[in-house]
Structure formats: structure tokens, C-alpha cells
Structure 1
Amino acid sequence: MPLVSVEGLSIRYGANTVLLHVDMVIEPGEIVTIVGPNGSGKTSLLRAVIGATKPVAGRVVQKPGLKIGYVPQKLHIDPTLPITVERFMRLTNQVSRQRCVDALDSAGVPDLLKRQMSQLSGGQFQRVLLARALINQPDILLLDEATQGLDQRGSAAFYQQIETVRRETGCAILMISHELHVVMSASDRVICLNGHVCCEGSPAVVASAPEYRALFGTGTGGALALYQHHHDHHHDHGENPKEAAE
């Protein structure tokens, strides 16, 4: 049974229809990425999946007992607030310290437990948000442009960690991304959205689709080659992923 089925989904805000007749299925263990221009309904679709936005037509069906982890685009914490990573992770989760440690390890930052949140770099902060989403061992992980504000190296390292999470935990991943080169390397399936599903399929199929090229041009191939080179270099030379997160 699919983890999530989106059937004929339409969403309207006032007179503005942002999504029309969208169908989408997320199977266990797959990485699916939604791409599309600004205003294409990407975040609205993600909000509908978690039940935060009510459709005007269609429905979202979740597998019974589905556990969802969510990594937001950004989260502001008052820099003057003294709060450790451990306390932050346990604010809404009644879990043991060991569960926090395990989740931080899965996110690639096992040594941050006692660090103040205000002292974290951008990459470390996003890894802590990832760990917090993983703490209850979700069936599916949702990411809403989770690397916005990170440089290319930090983004690549973060998405490599996402691939590791999927490999080690088996959870499915549904993410929105504006970084097409990363999407084309990390995803099993890409959904191109522009108020409706323009095209979907494997990264190679979507990259060559006329609808995709009309939105994004044909430059993604070179960016993909650049990312693949970085990915290979990362492994060939034993670069420390923890350092890339910092």
C-alpha cells in the first residue's frame, strides 16, 4: 500500500486556484522531489499532504498509522535564548537522551548534543532540524526547500545525508527543491509542478521533457555533471561529511 495517495487534488485561496487536479503517489522507501517555479503550488501540495491545507476538491489518503517527519524551510530562534540542541530536540518530544543522540547521528552531527542552538552554523542548524524530524522514526520525511540559504557545498552535503538516511532507515522522502542539479542526482522520481503536474518520472526522463525544459531551460545537465563530480570527489578523497555540514 502507498504511504500517501493524492487524488484529484485542487487547492484555492480566495479566487486564486494554486493546484488543479493533482495526482501523486509516494511508495515506501522512495525519494521523490517536487520542482517548479515560484507560485507553482509546491508548498501548498506539501501542506495538503500533512493535513495543514484543506483542498476544495480531491483528497489525500495516508496509510493508517503513518508517521511523518517534517523539516521546515527555515525556523527562527531568538539568538539570546539559551537553549541547547538536546533541549530543543526534546521540547515537543518526550524521548530519551539516547534517542536524541541516535537522531543526531543519523543526521550526521553526533557531537552537537550540548551545543547552544545560537552557536550553530547554517549547515549544522539544518542538520539539527533534520535530526528532530527523525527522532520519532518516521515512515516518510517531508522537506520544504530545507537547504535554502546554504551554499552549494553545504547543500550537496545535506542531500547526500538525506540519501544516507533513506539507505539506513528505509523511510521515504518527499522534498521540494529549487536546486535542480541536486534533485537530478538524489531523486528516484521527480514531479514537475506548475499548478498541475507538467511531467513526472525518473530524473533523466523529466530533464528531457519539453514541459520541464520550457520552465527551466536545458542547463541542468551541466550542473548535474558538476554535482556528480563533487559527489565522486567527496568519496574518493574521504572528505569528512561532518566538516561539510559546518
Structure 2
Amino acid sequence: MRLITATNLSLQQAGKTVMRDVNMHIDRGEIVTLVGPNGSGKSTLVKGLIGALNPSQGSVETAHGLRVGYVPQTLHMDGLLPLTVSRFLCLPHRHSFEAMARALNEAGVPDLAQTQMRALSGGQFQRVLLARALLISPDILILDEATQGLDQPGAADFYRKIAHVRSHLNCAVLMVSHDLHVVMAASDRVLCLNGHVCCEGTPDVVQDAPEYRALFGAGSNGAFAIYRHEHDHNHHDHKDGPDDA
């Protein structure tokens, strides 16, 4: 099922064209990742795709009643504020205990409901933000640099959880990331941006694109070595049984 389709999409910020001539789509059940240098238009494109920014040219079509879950790169909170995870999940709308328990379990942190937000580790905090996004049973989950501040093992673990959520809920995932060394392992398709779509395809296709290498250099090949390792490992696990990570 096609969830979002952009046709000849151009977007402006402060009167300046930031993205131009974008043709792309996102289908239910797939993970699409946007990569590109700072200022390449990744966040602007996300805003255009979800209707937060009107096109200066072209169009965006979304599935009727599309539910969008959003996980930001971080959320600044007063460290002195006494706020449990369950109370945080009820801001701004209350949810049932059962719904919160399901979301926390799906995010991989089932035992944190009564924990103070200020006591969470970085990885736990991001999992709670993920649980909050899952409360609406999203058709598409958007992660905007959601692993910024996590170390590489923590980021890789988070992406593995995202892959599990995608499989379990059959939602689409749109990721914006600089984590080239881990993000490829969880991606079905990658779009490389620099004011437009420079190249796109599976990670194996993108790695050989001269446009990608011009932006990130040959040193980024390590990302794809990890991608292949993770992909082969996951494929092996899938043959042996379901992955509960």
C-alpha cells in the first residue's frame, strides 16, 4: 500500500529553494532512509512529505487518514521536574494503562512506566520517545536523527528495534540520519540528498554511486561492510527463527 507519493516536489524555506524536483514514494512496511550533508534538505523534505511545509512546486499525496508517529533527535526537559515515564506518555493526551504498557513493551522498555524521566539513560530515553510515537499505532514512523548522542552500539541496537517494530506493526519507517556506519543495516532503500535526490536505491546500489562517494568519500565504505554483516546475520536468524531483538 502506497502511503506517501511526492511528484516533482520543490520546497522553499525563507524564500529560498531548499529541495527541488523530488520524485519519491514510501510504501507500507518498508524502511526508507534519507542521508546527506548538513544543509542538504533532509528535514525540509520530511516537513514537505507530512504536510508541515507547503510545496512551492509539485505535489504530495498521502493515504487517507495517514497516522504519523514522530521520534525527534532529542527532547529537552527540566532535570528537576518530577515526571514518571507513564505521566510523560500522557502528555498532552491521556492513554490507558494497557495502551502505554503495549507501547513500552513494543519499544523494548516494558519495566520503565514508573521510572523518573530524569533517571533514564540516553538509550532508554529514546526508547520512551519511540513508545510515545507508537501510542497512535502509526502507519508511518518518522525518526529525525533519533540516535544523535548515542554511541555506535547504542545506535545499532536502536535501529534493530526499529526493524523489529516495522515487522511487527507493518508500518513504514522514514529515517533521517548521519549514522552511516549503522543505519544502512536497517534500510530497504536509501535516498542521498543534496538539495535534490542525488541517488537512490538499496544500500548496495547507493554505495557505488559516484554522487554518494563525492559527498561522503570512499571512507564511508565501512558503513556498507557493517550493512552486509548485519544483513547476512539477520537473514541467517530469519531462517532459524524470528528475531525478538
TM-score normalized by the length of structure 2 = 0.91
Structure 2 CA distance for partners of 1:36 and 1:122, relative to 1, 3 Å: same
How much has 1:88 moved relative to structure 2?
0.6
Q: Distance in 2 between matches of 1:8 and 1:55?
A: 10
**1:157-183 Cα deviation digits (max 9, x unpaired):** 000100110111111100101011222
Structure 1 runs not aligned, ≥5 long: 242-246
- Amino acid across the alignment from 2:94: Q
Equivalent residue, structure 1, for 2:40: 40
Instruction: Trace 1:26-175 onto structure 2 (pairs within 5 A).
Output: 26-175=26-175
- TM superposition shift of 1:221: 2.6
Q: Any runs of at least 4 consecutive aligned residues in structure 1 with deviations exceeding 6 A, and if so which?
A: none
In the aligned structure 2, how far is the partner of 1:75 from the partner of 1:52?
19
Distance 2:66 2:186 in 1: 24
Q: Secondary structure at the match of 2:118?
A: helix
Deviation at 1:48, TM superposition (A): 1.4
Letter in 2 for 1:128: V
Shift of 1:137: 0.7
Question: How far off its partner does 1:219 sit?
Answer: 2.2
What is the CA-CA distance between 1:15 and the residue it aligns to? 4.2
Question: Residue 244 of structure 1 corresponds to which residue in structure 2?
Answer: none
**CA shift at 1:223, angstroms?**
3.5
Q: CA RMSD in A?
A: 1.9
Contact kept? 2:184, 2:227, Cα under 8 Å: no
Aligned-partner Cα distance in 2 for 1:105–1:114: 14
Q: Deviations over 1:10-42 (max 9, x none)?
A: 112234211111111001100000000100000
Structure 2: distance between partners of 1:2 and 1:20: 22
Following superposition, the deviation at residue 108 of structure 1 comes to: 0.7
1:200 corresponds to: 200
**8 Å Cα contact 1:12-1:18 kept in structure 2:** yes
**Distance verdict in 2 for CA 1:113–1:71, change over 3 Å:** same
Pairwise CA distance, 1:55: 1.9
Question: What residue in structure 1 maps to residue 240 of structure 2?
Answer: none
**Percentage of identical aligned residues:** 58
Change (3 A) 1:65 1:226: closer
Q: Residue by residue, what CA displacement relative to the aligned partner does 1:78-122 show, whole Å, maximum 9, x if unpaired?
A: 111111100110112332111101101111111110001111111
**Aligned mates of 2:21, 2:89 — CA distance in 1:** 37
Give the Cα–Cα distance (whole angstroms) in 2 for the partners of residues 227 and 59 of structure 1. 33
Between 107-116 and 177-186, the greater mean CA deviation after superposition: 177-186
**In 1, are the aligned partners of 2:207 and 2:224 still within 8 Å (CA)?**
no
Query: Which residue of 1 is the match for residue 224 of structure 2?
Result: 224
How many correspondences in the alignment?
A: 236
Conserved 8 A contact 1:198-1:211: yes
Equivalent position of 2:182 in the other structure:
182
SS in 2 for 1:18: strand
Gaps of 5+ in 2: 238-243
2:166, 2:17 → 1: CA distance?
Answer: 34
Q: What's the counterpart of residue 17 of structure 1?
A: 17
Q: 1:205 to 1:224 in 2, by over 3 A?
A: closer
* TM-score, scaled relative to structure 1: 0.90
CA contact (8 A) 1:43 1:144 kept: yes
**Aligned with 1:33: secondary structure?**
strand
- Aligned CA distance change for structure 1 residues 221 and 38 (closer, same or farther; 3 Å): same
SS at match of 2:25: strand
CA distance in 2, matches of 1:195, 1:19: 5
